Amino acid sequence: MTAEVTRAWRVRQPGPMQTHPLRRVTEPPPRPAADELLVRVLACGVCRTDLHVAEGDLPVHRPGVVPGHEVVGEVIGSGEQVTGPFEIGQRVGIAWLRRTCGRCRYCTRGAENLCPYSEYTGWDADGGYADCTTVPAGYAYPLPGNYPDAELAPLLCAGIIGWRALARANLPPRGRLALYGFGASAHLTAQVALAQGATVHVLTRSRQAQKLALELGASSAGGAADPPPEPVDSAILFAPVGDLVPTALAALDSGGTLTLAGIHLTDIPVLNYQRYLFRERQIRSVTANTRRDGRDFLRFAAEHHLQVVTSPYPLDKADVALTDLATDRVQGAAVLIP
């Protein structure tokens, strides 16, 4: 049974965190649409995309939206059209991709992440910074049973996007990979690459993150602007800093690929073709993910238990968690616990 009122955080007025863009509210619980599940939130990861929504780096899609798209929850209800496969009491995951049209040329060729009619949790519809939320049943994920709620939450965006970014990076077997930035997504991606036999070099300004990278098995960990100790076959830029694009390109060996993993990036400086792109170096971007990406990654996570580093915050401190993320004070992934 749902409570008569629930707690939630809404984006009052997008702006820097010091302007307090989030507002805490109590309101009636959401009502699921005909094809949706009603979910009691057990844990919700705090993603950098939430920060971009709160601070206005991403344009408003729904005024007053509830952020949060790394949701682990328990099914407590459903709309009249939902017939399965989820049951009341089952633990499910809610990720960034919320809905696609299923009919456009992108959806029909397996690239639903590029659907022009796509909708996103915590941007187009209310997300998980709340006691309860909803999700279309076709976009909810069954979850592996060998992780606690707080560790599962970051897998649902940080993990899935890192998985897709790694696939886009064209890393050859037993290749050399550089990761720029080492937060929630990168610390999971590093473990996937290491499990696949890669050599991983981490470049980040945080001394604490450098230490974590080495503890997880990275071969080296240096400053964000430092060159890795050897040319790399692939690089992934997780930090939303366009100035690092030339740095990462300069680290690539001939034929190397740089993947830009974020939904937002500051402007990229002018690139000298001969220095940064010649010899078949390339840049690729990542746009959301497909449900297949999510299923494949969660299957991998079930088979290769990942060390998920989390920093827990109570739901009532969601604004503090986002502020700490903005100022690089979060170790691993921040997670809200209602």
pLDDT along the chain (338 residues), means of 10: 84 97 97 97 97 95 97 97 93 98 98 98 98 98 96 97 98 98 96 98 96 97 97 97 98 98 95 97 98 98 96 97 94 93
pLDDT at 332: 87
Spell out the domains of the chain, with CATH numbers in brackets. 6-143+308-337 (3.90.180.10), 160-285 (3.40.50.720)
| Predicted local distance difference test score (pLDDT) of residue 106 | 98
**pLDDT at res. 2:** 63
What does the pLDDT read at residue 331? 86
What 3 state SS string does the chain have?
Answer: CCCCCEEEEEECCCCCHHHCCEEEEEECCCCCCCCEEEEEEEEEEECHHHHHHHHCCCCCCCCCCCCCCCEEEEEEEECCCCCCCCCCCCEEEECCEEECCCCCHHHHCCCHHHCCCCEEECCCECCCCECEEEEEHHHEEECCCCCCHHHHHHHHHHHHHHHHHHHHCCCCCCCEEEEECCCHHHHHHHHHHHHCCCEEEEECCCHHHHHHHHHHCCCEEECCCCCCCCCEEEEEECCCCCCHHHHHHHHEEEEEEEEECCCCCCCCCCCCHHHHHCCCCEEEECCCCCHHHHHHHHHHHHHCCCCCCEEEEEHHHHHHHHHHHHCCCCCCEEEEEC
Task: Note the pLDDT of residue 95.
Answer: 98
